[in-house]
Amino acid sequence: MDAAAQIASLKATLARYDYRYYVLDDPEVPDAEYDRLLRALREWEAAHPELITPDSPTQRVSGTPLKSFGEVAHRVPMLSLDNAFADADVEAFDRRVRERLETDEDIDYHCEPKLDGLAISLTYVDGLLQVGATRGDGVTGEDVTANLRTMRSVPLRLVGDVPRLVEVRGEVFMSDAGFARMNREALARGEKVFVNPRNAAAGSLRQLDPSITATRPLEAFFYGIGAVEGGVLPPTHSGFVAQLRTWGLRTCPETRVARGVAGLLAYYRDIGARRATLGYQIDGVVYKVDAFQRQRELGFVARAPRWAIAHKFPAEEELTQVRDIEWQVGRTGALTPVARLEPVFVGGVTVSNATLHNIDELQRKDVRVGDTVVIRRAGDVIPEVVRVIPERRPDGTEAPALPSACPVCGSAIHRIEGEAVARCTGGYVCLAQRKEAIKHYAGRRAMDVEGLGDKVVDQLVESGLVESPADLYRLTAETLASLERMGEKSATKLAAAIEASKQSTLPRFLFALGIPNVGEATALGLAEHFGDLGPLRSATLDQIQAVPDVGPVVAQSIRSFLDDARQASVVDQLLTLGVRWEPQTLTRGEHLPLTGKTFVCTGTLPTLGRADAEAMIRKAGGKVTGSVSKKTDYVLAGADAGSKLAKAIELGVAVIDEDALKAMISAV
Q: DSSP per residue over 116-130, as a string?
A: SSEEEEEEEETTEEE
136-147 pLDDT tens trace: 878 888 899 989
Give the model's pLDDT for residue 23.
Answer: 58
Percent of the chain whose predicted confidence (pLDDT) is above 70: 93
**25 falls in which pLDDT band (50, 70, 90)?**
low
369 — phi, psi (to 5°)? -60, 130
Cα separation, 501 vs 244, in Å, equals: 40
Taking phi first (over 0 means left), then psi (-120 to 50 degrees means alpha), and beta for anything else, what does residue 131 get?
Answer: beta
Domains 427-501 and 506-581 belong to one CATH topology: yes
Cα separation, 76 vs 201, in Å, equals: 24
Whether 489 sits among the annotated catalytic residues: the reply is no
CATH superfamily of 598-666: BRCT domain (3.40.50.10190)
Task: Read off the pLDDT of each residue in 460-465 and give the average, rounded to a whole number.
Answer: 94
Taking phi first (over 0 means left), then psi (-120 to 50 degrees means alpha), and beta for anything else, what does residue 113 get?
Answer: beta
472-482 pLDDT tens trace: 999 999 999 99
**Sheet strands (E) in 523-666:** 580-581, 598-602, 623-624, 634-637, 654-656
Give the model's pLDDT for residue 582.
Answer: 77
Indicate the range of 149-163, 579-593, 616-630, 639-653 predicted with least confidence. Answer: 579-593
Indicate the range of 131-135, 522-526, 542-546, 640-644 predicted with least confidence. Answer: 640-644
Amino acid at 103: T
390 — phi, psi (to 5°)? -60, -35
181-204 pLDDT tens trace: 998 888 888 887 787 888 889 888
Please tell me what DSSP assigns to residue 138.
Answer: S
On the question of pLDDT at 587 being above 50, the answer is: no
305-318 pLDDT tens trace: 999 999 988 877 88
505 — phi, psi (to 5°)? -125, 160
On the question of pLDDT at 217 being above 80, the answer is: yes
Can you give the pTM of this predicted structure? 0.57
Which CATH number is correct for 83-312, 3.40.120.10, 3.40.50.300, 3.30.470.30, 3.40.605.10?
3.30.470.30
**Topology classification of domain 427-501:** DNA polymerase; domain 1 (1.10.150)
SS (H, E, C) 231-294: CCCCCEHHHHHHHHHHHCCCCCCCCEEEEHHHHHHHHHHHHHHCHHHCCCCEEEEEEEECEHHH
Cα separation, 435 vs 440, in Å, equals: 9
Among 500, 442, 380, 439, residue whose Cα is nearest residue 81? 380
Cα separation, 307 vs 288, in Å, equals: 6
Average pLDDT, the chain: 87
Cα separation, 561 vs 563, in Å, equals: 5
228 — phi, psi (to 5°)? -140, 130
CATH superfamily of 316-392: Nucleic acid-binding proteins (2.40.50.140)
Cα separation, 635 vs 626, in Å, equals: 10
Pick the more confident residue, 264 or 350.
264
On the question of pLDDT at 393 being above 90, the answer is: yes
Judging by DSSP bridges, how do beta strands 634-637 and 598-602 pair with one another?
parallel
Ranges of each domain in the chain: 3-59, 83-312, 316-392, 427-501, 506-581, 598-666
Q: Which CATH architecture has domain 506-581?
A: Orthogonal Bundle (1.10)
**384 falls in which pLDDT band (50, 70, 90)?**
confident
Amino acid at 352: S
In angstroms, how far is CA 36 from the centroid of its own chain? 43
Task: Read off the pLDDT of each residue in 45-57 and give the average, rounded to a whole number.
Answer: 74
On the question of pLDDT at 588 being above 50, the answer is: no
373 with 321: CB under 8 angstroms?
yes
On the question of pLDDT at 442 being above 80, the answer is: yes
CATH class in words for 3-59? mainly alpha
Catalytic residue among 114, 288, 439, 597: 114
Give the model's pLDDT for residue 263.
Answer: 96
